[in-house]
Amino acid sequence: MDACTTIRCSMSAVRINTIPDLSRRTGIKRATMYNRMKNIGSMTLRELQEIARVTHMSTEQIAEVVLNA
């Protein structure tokens, strides 16, 4: 599974259906969030931490994002 799909699956698990909703819940600007989802490798550690916190990502899911970025 690619990194974007992993994030989208974790979003779905907590009923976050859109990137703007994820943006609001994490405090990451919407334009930045869209850019990060297009290019996961540009995501900062702090951004990934916030996404993981809000979506309750497991350690395995976080590792999958990092390894597949």
Which pLDDT tens digit goes with each residue over 2-58? 999 999 999 999 999 999 999 999 999 999 999 999 999 999 999 999 999 999 999
Confidence of residue 1 (pLDDT cuts 50, 70, 90): confident
Residues contacting 15, CB < 8 A, separation 6+: none
CB burial of residue 32 (10 Å; 0-12, 13-18, 19+): middle
